[in-house]
Structure 1
Amino acid sequence: MEIMRSHWLPWNSHCSSHKLVSVPYKVTLRNLEKTTFISCSLQNNATSLRLAENPSEKSTYSRGLLTTKSVMDVSKVNRIIKECTEDGFFEDAIRVYLDFIECGFPVEEFRFFPCLIKAFGGLHDVNKGKQIHGHLLKFGFLQDIFVKNSLLGMYWKCGAAEDAVDMFERMEKRDSVSWNTMISGFCQSGEYVKSLVMFRRMITECGGSYHNRVACLAALSSCASIKCSIHGLEIHGFLVKNGLDSDEFLVSGLIEMYMKCGDIKNAENVFERIRDNELVGRNMVVWNVMILGYVSNECLSLALELFVEMLKLGISPDSSTVVAVLVLCSQLLDLAVGKQIHGLILSLGLDDDVRVGTALMEMYFKCGDPETSLQIFKRSQNYNLVMWGSVMLNCAQNGYPNEALQFFSEFMLDCGFPDPVILLAALRACSFLSLKPRGMAIHGFAIKMGFDSDVFVGGALVDFYGKCGDMEYAQQVFHGLSTRDLVSWNALISGFAQNKCADEALKAFRDMQSKKIKPNTVTMACILSVCTHLSVMILCKEVHCYLLRHWFETNALVNNSLISAYAKCGDIRSSWTVFEKLPVRNEVTWNSILLGFGMHGCTDEMFATFEKMKKINIKPDHGTFTSLLSTCSHSGKVDAGWKYFISMMEDYNLEPRVEQYTCMVDLLGRAGYLNQAYDLIMSMPCSPDDRIWGSLLASCKNHGNTKLAEVAANHIFELDPSSVGYRVLLTNLYEDSGNLNEVFRVRTEMKQMGLKKQPGCSWIEVSNSMHIFVAGDYSHDQSEDIYATIESLSLEMKRVGYVPHIQAASNKYWA
């Protein structure tokens, strides 16, 4: 037979029926040319093998370890194969074996096949693995139990579960390693139930003779993965019966299993039993598993207490311990404790650990100290992809999108090849800033790297295009995804909702359900925002019923959205009912009901609710005062408005934002205090926007102050030259004052700029049916009756003394 170095062919007589598969590495042996083929006979085994020309970075041959037959012996071959395999140079290890054969040594003299088989397993290629299996079968080496076990392990590494099972079932003799390999193999490949079945079978067939740590750990890990505490209890009993319940590794496995199953009591029982054991009780891994278990089950105070006790006992924490405690601080939002842990990390010299550095950054970000987090990142000497991704994602999610994009640029310069997490962070930042050109460039890079099919990157792209208002491209990206998970659907529905595409959002929600994708709280909050936009009562009630049927009614996000939706749909009673039934209310909940009361003019109820909010020590935020000031504005309560505005600054140390200033300007303007309103705008520490000037302009129109209106209008048109509504408002003011020349000038400017006012649209729900009306529209099938009723009402209003405001001068001018 021939050994040809460039391609692999099977180790059996049917090699001619198999295609050549390229394996990258280079061989230059005994000064032969790269294209030279070396042939030697392996008795009657017709086999061909070719090795490609691209070597590993550290070639065995470049070390000069195996060059001539005169220095070759079996022990040296074994040592070299073992070293290559341990260092990850699997192809070099296999090449050494081939040289062994080429140099004329009989195959029977080689007795280190388990190590060679491990090298084949490292290639993760089942076809190549079958070659060595066939080779061993041909020469009769499969009688050795060590060889069989090595082949089992190789098949599991190659992901060939069926081949592993087939070989296991054909084994006449099995030892503990055989069973361990199968139990662990099923567990590591995600077949947790099969792993437990194999463990039970081992106990049944072998009794207690083969019980050992490896099998039990794999079985416990399987129980933890599927959260099956019943089987976990059985394994626990088996360990107690066989005296293995004090093994430090198995104790850790038991605690982890119980914690992942949510059985904190049994985890504590296991931990308490070994605390007095000198060896196990002071094992740091056991304490780490216990602390992490408390954190994962949100028993944060217990985790902190256990960590303090660990320190008192003199057990020095490692990186895993402090990472768990930093996660605890992040969840508690306890910056003070986090800073103490930071000091401990510095004293222990763990600050150079990448995992610790990443956890520290996360903690400072979540606890509201992003500056320190950024300093930690900039001072760090050890960066990896996780750390880069963490700082970018946290910047994007915590109001530092520009910094996130700056870090992305630095990463591209330093490293060059991002992973999906880093692209995800960059896209989040672009979404926050609505930077469409930059986001499209990142999209192109994702396509080039082949990450556009990644479900997380795909969802971020849909969200990005939705935030930028390009729903057409968002849909194109969405439909191009090979897999669409809940996040992708939520991004699409949210995009439709944010861009006022209500019908499309509802259709996407129905399509998602038809694909058997179960909605979550984010989905339902988006759908409720659609109800709020449409103000359709029947739709709001349908969604509420859906929430009740699917057990969403206890979620804070959903209930807050539901309160707002009912209020916007005109049913403040239902909003109040939802609010009263909530067992827990956060700041957003109180703000939602306050806004609803203000929207419906229920000023007394609103002020009373605010007082209740203060009594239970719920601290009001900017949203709270926006609702209060808006209600004061619409009800004309100037004194109350000033009281809340001053209280906001003095009692709660909240610096007013543009929204609160806009409410105050509207309040003063409606009451006729136009100069005070103007002075307030000019004294603002922040830059006024077009909305606050528009509020002043509307008040000037109502009170006929043309001079101040022109000042406000000039500011508006500087900020937004394409504004239509405010130009129409200014025109109406000129009409009221009889200044027809200015009316003509403004309208001429609008025509030259191509600006047109969109006709008003309104709708009303009658008997669960929607009736939509557009200004000047006669398409409704009852339009004659509708306009006749309007005429009748107008006559009735005149009869009781109402004098309509008729712009006769304007009509005459434009006739």
Structure 2
Amino acid sequence: MKSFVSRRNAEAIRRRFQPWNGLHLSLVSPMRTKGFCAQSAVHQYDESGRKLKSFSREQEMKDIRTLLQYCIDNKALPGAKRMYIRMIEKGFEPGVFQGNGILNTHVKAGLLKDARQLFDRMPKRDEVSWTIMIAGYANGMNEHEALQLFLQMLKTDVKPDSFVFASVLKACAGLGEGGEQVHAHVIRVGYESNTFVGNAIVDMHIKCGRMKDARQMFDRMSERNDFTWTTIITGYVQRGNGREALKMFSLMNWTDTKPNPFIISSLLRACTDMSDFEQGECLHASAIKMGFEANVFVGNSLATMYPKIGRIKDAKKLFDEMWERDVVSWTTMIVGFAQSGHVEEALQLFGQMLKTDIKPNEFTFAIVVSTCGSLAALEQGKQFHAHVIRNGLVSFLSVGNALTAMYTKCGRINDAHQVVDEMTIKDVVSWTTIIMGYVDKGYDEEALKLAFQIQRLGIKLNEFTLSTVLTACANLAVLQTGRQVHTLIIKAGYELEISVNSALISMYSKCGNIDYAGQMFSLMSKGDVVTWTTMITGYAIHGLGIKALQLFEQMQQKGVKPDSITFIGVLSACSNAGLVDEGWYHFNSISKEYGIKPIIEHYGCMVDLLGRAGQLDEAEEFIKKIPFKHDTVVWGALLGACKVHGKYDLGKRVADRILQLDPQCAGTLILLANMFAADGRWSDVANVRKNMKENGLKKQPGQSWIEVQNRLFTFVSKDSMMDYIQNHGKSTPC
């Protein structure tokens, strides 16, 4: 019918206007009835009107109506708008049906401003006119205008219908307000029993965070359809109440409404979030029975769930059997591999994705780049960085942060800093990643400089940034700076955050204020294993071994399970306090009572304990029984004990072991020379020093630092402090 009208209009226009000018109006033919020709016809009509002033009013109205309908049929919106306004200006009253047609065409094209101009000039409007305009605003994310127009409608004689109410409720959901008042009006005019409106009310309450009101509305509905059940079930899932979503699904199964893929997909996500994988497998079976297994939404949810329970092969099998895959499918599977520790498979799958027609999005690249960081695969990370640039995704915050983290983990701090500098949008996570990179690499001064620099820029530091800054203060033992950071933490309200509190305890412990560290620990109503371990280690390094062991007992009584790091603190406490028997007891309990596999640090603590107690032969035999490869730290602990106890022959033997592992260990040679000197073996001292000189080995000079006028200065032996400050000025603002 539409093509017939268009063809008829085209013929009428050609017959009407062609004799009047030489503008080749024959181009307006049934075979060329698109917007360009319609616009040409409007232009020629305007030209004709200027040349011939003898139009009869009846003929002019007919011509305008014909051209208007012609433009509407062919979506020539500028021409349609001109003809419609011309009709109004000429005093010809356009029909409401035709006005709604041109209004709807503009709204669908997203030309809301032009549509509103037409709406305001319409001589007559019915409920369809108002519905078109209000729905246009609601769908176009202009919710405020939709509500204002609805209030204007209430002042007219036109009564809102179910479509108007549904659009207004959608606008309220977007705004997060006004929905309760509209709901009340719906009740007054008797539309609450309408299923279409009822669905909109349920959806509005859910999106405004009023799940209880949504459920009450759902329960009052006499008729419910597929959309009703989908809305309430997905609403519960989105609000983190998966149990209630599963209950609603059970109720739904007693009705005539059949589940759809969206419901199954949402419930699978709920089971994943709740770690209820048994229920998830039941839903998978239901999906197979209903023929939904190959659905892309269901498949994506299953591919998310199975890696969480260690069944990555099942997830890959499902992925391979999916008839249709989208970017979410590929990204989900890549994430599954990465989070399951199969990082190389994740990168291989990404390579396969690049060979398909599906383009990776910013989330895909963020995951892949992060995976490269986990592997410290710098070259691959650089290649993906190039892909990001080519695909125009470098401006996305998640991608920029992932690139920053990748370069940081690969030890390329300067490259990471450059990425952040080039990011058009950056947040506190971007800067925190750089600061953490500096601290991890031992550049604590640079970390403090950057932290105070971004604070001056007005960027609010979060708890992770402040914890990292405290770690830098602890490493440098700058108590005054640490106290200033503590003040910032109190102002920001982060003092009771577990990670921040643990960092404060560590900072005060390492800066020598163990009493204040204890006060910070007592502020925590419920600490985690990190908090307890930090305090135990603090007591240990301050020589308060008995206190550390007492705290360890309290930790066990509180039901906090120790980890391998906790036992490093416990064994260090035994070593510093000379408690050999207690040390053996706790060392043996690591595997027997707690099922933790001892690590090299535990063995090192035991060697140190035995060495301090003078049991050097037992320490040597203990080292020989270590079940994995020895390192210089373990032998170094025994070497130091040999010097203290004057066991020079054993010391020579231990030093030889260390130099076999690390021939460039200058510290070992210096300690060996000192032992020879203490024993009066000057020829051996000369040989050691000659060996160091021939191999170009020098002892790395130790650095010291001091805070002067809120600035941190580093120096080495024989430096003149005043000359250093005046001439070098190398400092870190505190």
* Residues 1:767 and 1:389: Cα distance change in structure 2 (over 3 Å): same
Q: Conserved in 2, the CA contact under 8 Å of 1:254 and 1:267?
A: yes
Q: Conserved in 1, the CA contact under 8 Å of 2:242 and 2:267?
A: no
Which among 464, 478, 485 is matched to residue 522 of structure 1? 464
The superposition leaves residues 147-173 of structure 1 with CA deviations (integer Å, 9 ceiling, x where unpaired) of 554555555565554434433333333
User: 1:513: Cα distance to partner?
Assistant: 4.8
1:143 and 2:94 aligned? yes
Q: Within 5 Å, which residues of 2 pair with 1:192-341?
A: 192-205=143-156, 209-213=159-163, 215-228=164-177, 231-274=178-221, 277=222, 279-280=223-224, 283-310=225-252, 316-341=258-283
What secondary structure, in the 3-state scheme, does the structure 2 residue paired with 1:418 have?
coil
- Residue aligning to 2:659: 713
Higher mean displacement: 472-481 or 514-523: 514-523
Which among 504, 518, 522 is matched to residue 562 of structure 1? 504
Aligned amino acid, residue 623 of structure 2: Y
User: 1:508: Cα distance to partner?
Assistant: 4.1
Root-mean-square deviation over aligned CA pairs: 4.4
Normalising by structure 2, what TM-score?
0.78
* Residues 1:490 and 1:166: Cα distance change in structure 2 (over 3 Å): farther
Q: Within 5 Å, which residues of 2 pair with 1:166-181?
A: 166-181=117-132
Structure-2 separation of matches of 1:320 and 1:515: 46
* Residues 1:166 and 1:509: Cα distance change in structure 2 (over 3 Å): farther
What secondary structure, in the 3-state scheme, does the structure 1 residue paired with 2:504 have?
helix
Aligned amino acid, residue 108 of structure 1: T
Which among 716, 729, 734 is matched to residue 774 of structure 1? 716
Aligned amino acid, residue 126 of structure 2: D
Q: Conserved in 2, the CA contact under 8 Å of 1:701 and 1:709?
A: no
Structure-1 separation of matches of 2:171 and 2:495: 34
Structure-1 separation of matches of 2:401 and 2:24: 48
User: 1:428: Cα distance to partner?
Assistant: 0.5
The superposition leaves residues 163-185 of structure 1 with CA deviations (integer Å, 9 ceiling, x where unpaired) of 34433333333333443344343
Structure-2 separation of matches of 1:47 and 1:237: 60
Structure-2 separation of matches of 1:569 and 1:46: 94
Aligned amino acid, residue 305 of structure 2: M
Structure-1 separation of matches of 2:22 and 2:401: 53
Structure-2 separation of matches of 1:48 and 1:518: 68
Higher mean displacement: 455-464 or 737-746: 737-746
* Residues 1:201 and 1:135: Cα distance change in structure 2 (over 3 Å): closer
Structure-2 separation of matches of 1:479 and 1:775: 37
- Residue aligning to 2:728: none
User: 1:236: Cα distance to partner?
Assistant: 1.7
* Residues 1:782 and 1:486: Cα distance change in structure 2 (over 3 Å): closer
Structure-1 separation of matches of 2:475 and 2:170: 49
Higher mean displacement: 331-340 or 730-739: 730-739
Q: Conserved in 2, the CA contact under 8 Å of 1:431 and 1:464?
A: yes
Structure-1 separation of matches of 2:642 and 2:324: 61
Structure-2 separation of matches of 1:733 and 1:588: 40
Q: Conserved in 2, the CA contact under 8 Å of 1:559 and 1:578?
A: yes
User: 1:422: Cα distance to partner?
Assistant: 2.0
User: 1:455: Cα distance to partner?
Assistant: 2.6
- Residue aligning to 1:676: 621
What secondary structure, in the 3-state scheme, does the structure 2 residue paired with 1:544 have?
helix
- Residue aligning to 1:444: 386
- Residue aligning to 1:789: none
Aligned amino acid, residue 553 of structure 2: E
Aligned amino acid, residue 566 of structure 1: Y
User: 1:235: Cα distance to partner?
Assistant: 1.7
The superposition leaves residues 739-759 of structure 1 with CA deviations (integer Å, 9 ceiling, x where unpaired) of 3365135413541xxx55432
* Residues 1:300 and 1:110: Cα distance change in structure 2 (over 3 Å): closer
Structure-2 separation of matches of 1:307 and 1:781: 78
Structure-2 separation of matches of 1:356 and 1:397: 20
Structure-2 separation of matches of 1:48 and 1:561: 82
What secondary structure, in the 3-state scheme, does the structure 1 residue paired with 2:562 have?
coil
User: 1:457: Cα distance to partner?
Assistant: 1.8
Structure-2 separation of matches of 1:381 and 1:723: 61
Structure-2 separation of matches of 1:756 and 1:46: 98
Structure-1 separation of matches of 2:213 and 2:144: 22
Structure-1 separation of matches of 2:449 and 2:702: 26
User: 1:388: Cα distance to partner?
Assistant: 1.7
Q: Conserved in 2, the CA contact under 8 Å of 1:352 and 1:381?
A: yes
Which among 503, 513, 521 is matched to residue 571 of structure 1? 513
Q: Conserved in 2, the CA contact under 8 Å of 1:396 and 1:432?
A: no
User: 1:443: Cα distance to partner?
Assistant: 1.5
User: 1:670: Cα distance to partner?
Assistant: 4.7
Aligned amino acid, residue 202 of structure 1: M
Which among 583, 588, 599 is matched to residue 646 of structure 1? 588
Structure-2 separation of matches of 1:621 and 1:728: 36
User: 1:390: Cα distance to partner?
Assistant: 2.4
- Residue aligning to 2:483: 541
- Residue aligning to 2:52: none
- Residue aligning to 1:108: 66
User: 1:144: Cα distance to partner?
Assistant: 4.9
* Residues 1:395 and 1:716: Cα distance change in structure 2 (over 3 Å): farther
Report the structure, 1 or 2, having the larger helix content. Answer: 2
* Residues 1:300 and 1:732: Cα distance change in structure 2 (over 3 Å): farther
Which among 598, 601, 619 is matched to residue 656 of structure 1? 598
Aligned amino acid, residue 168 of structure 1: F
Q: Within 5 Å, which residues of 2 pair with 1:561-710?
A: 561-668=503-610, 670-671=612-613, 672=616, 673-681=618-626, 683-684=627-628, 691-692=633-634, 695=637, 698=640, 704=648, 705=650, 706-710=652-656
User: 1:515: Cα distance to partner?
Assistant: 5.3
What secondary structure, in the 3-state scheme, does the structure 2 residue paired with 1:747 have?
helix
* Residues 1:110 and 1:347: Cα distance change in structure 2 (over 3 Å): same
Aligned amino acid, residue 389 of structure 1: T
Contiguous gaps of at least 5 residues in structure 2 = 1-15, 43-62, 726-734
User: 1:237: Cα distance to partner?
Assistant: 0.9
Aligned amino acid, residue 328 of structure 2: V
Q: Conserved in 2, the CA contact under 8 Å of 1:428 and 1:460?
A: yes
Structure-2 separation of matches of 1:734 and 1:333: 63
The superposition leaves residues 677-725 of structure 1 with CA deviations (integer Å, 9 ceiling, x where unpaired) of 32343x13xx5556556555555665543223322332345xxxx6655
User: 1:421: Cα distance to partner?
Assistant: 2.0
What secondary structure, in the 3-state scheme, does the structure 2 residue paired with 1:591 have?
helix
Q: Conserved in 2, the CA contact under 8 Å of 1:547 and 1:553?
A: yes
* Residues 1:116 and 1:768: Cα distance change in structure 2 (over 3 Å): same
The superposition leaves residues 411-434 of structure 1 with CA deviations (integer Å, 9 ceiling, x where unpaired) of 223458432222212211122222
- Residue aligning to 1:740: 685
Structure-2 separation of matches of 1:638 and 1:378: 59
Structure-2 separation of matches of 1:206 and 1:512: 59
Normalising by structure 1, what TM-score?
0.71
Q: Conserved in 1, the CA contact under 8 Å of 2:536 and 2:548?
A: yes
User: 1:249: Cα distance to partner?
Assistant: 4.3
- Residue aligning to 1:12: none
Q: Conserved in 1, the CA contact under 8 Å of 2:486 and 2:504?
A: yes
Structure-1 separation of matches of 2:583 and 2:23: 92
Q: Conserved in 2, the CA contact under 8 Å of 1:731 and 1:747?
A: no
Contiguous gaps of at least 5 residues in structure 1 = 1-39, 52-67, 82-92, 121-128, 784-815
What secondary structure, in the 3-state scheme, does the structure 2 residue paired with 1:268 have?
helix
Q: Conserved in 2, the CA contact under 8 Å of 1:175 and 1:210?
A: no
Aligned amino acid, residue 332 of structure 1: M
Structure-1 separation of matches of 2:461 and 2:22: 59
